[in-house]
Amino acid sequence: VPVILSSRRYVAGGQCKSTAKLDGKVVIITGANTGIGKETARDLARRGKVIVACRDVAKGEAAASEIRAETGNQQVIVKKLDLANTKSIREFAENFLAEEKELHILINNAGVMLYPYSKTADGFEMHLGVNHLGHFLLTFLLLERLKQSAPARIVNVSSLAHHGGRIRFHDLHGDKSYNRGLAYCHSKLANVLFTRELARRLQGKSHRRAEFTANSLHPGSVRSELVRHSSVMTWLWKVFSFFLKTPSEGAQTSVYCAVAEELDSVTGQYFSDCQPAYVSPRGRDDETAKKLWRVSCELLGIQWD
């Protein structure tokens, strides 16, 4: 039993020890109706106001009412956001900006994984479109409100899978060749590069650089619905479930990046198990990061200097 308990503790990984309260603060979490996002929302709802941004409003409401009942916080609000559709992203941002005067924490958590080849409403490959471009646009649209509310934080949920990714500028949407496992890896590398370039730009613009940070993270291998598009992975996840984190354990690093006091002036970093982690050489390539930024702006038809 001690061996089992200690190995389980090892699997569980780092825990966020911060008791920071978010009184009067507003948090947006994308994809917060299930898995890691839901557990992140559950934790942060004990601290402040949480906006659950998700595609399936009915699922979102079910999650939110459970969290409201458990935490006693009525300020857990569901808003529709479909990251596979830029029109939906713009509508979400417009409504949010009209209703909320402040935004302190944006957690770009939602994601698709191992999706069979398909395109978003705007013709982007699904992994790149949802995991990277959707969050890129959302962050762009909410940036001024975050700046006005400083100190503010942007948290991008990436993955260890970024080590297997590369940005294939010659075939971004997988029209020439497509592998859904690699497509996921590419999109997670894009999260790391976006975070890096965003942090660099924010540092350059802000006199009080500690006031505004952007970090990315690997939540760990988590028992979640993320593998639902692959029957093989679903089976493997069941077989090895003992060696996977629970969604609550998987949410720890997201919560840590969102609230930990010691990260007040830390930006452009990548975390795993509530501590800095190794980034692949491709994830540290500033030229690729700058080019990805430019190309993302072109694809989305925005100017973000």
Determine if the pTM surpasses 0.85: yes
Q: How far apart are CA 134 and CA 141, in angstroms?
A: 11
For 69-110, how does the pLDDT look when each residue is reduced to its tens digit (9 = 90+)? 999 999 999 999 999 999 999 999 999 999 999 999 999 999
Do residues 134 and 193 lie in contact, with contact meaning Cβ atoms separated by under 8 Å? no
Provide the annotated active-site residues: 184
Which pLDDT score, from 0 to 100, does residue 10 have?
Answer: 58
Q: How far apart are CA 293 and CA 300, in angstroms?
A: 11
Domains (range + CATH), the chain: 1-298 (3.40.50.720)
**Is the pLDDT score of 206 beyond 90?**
no
Distances (CA, A) of 294 to 224, 283, 289: 33, 17, 9
Structure-token pair, residue 293 = 């930024």
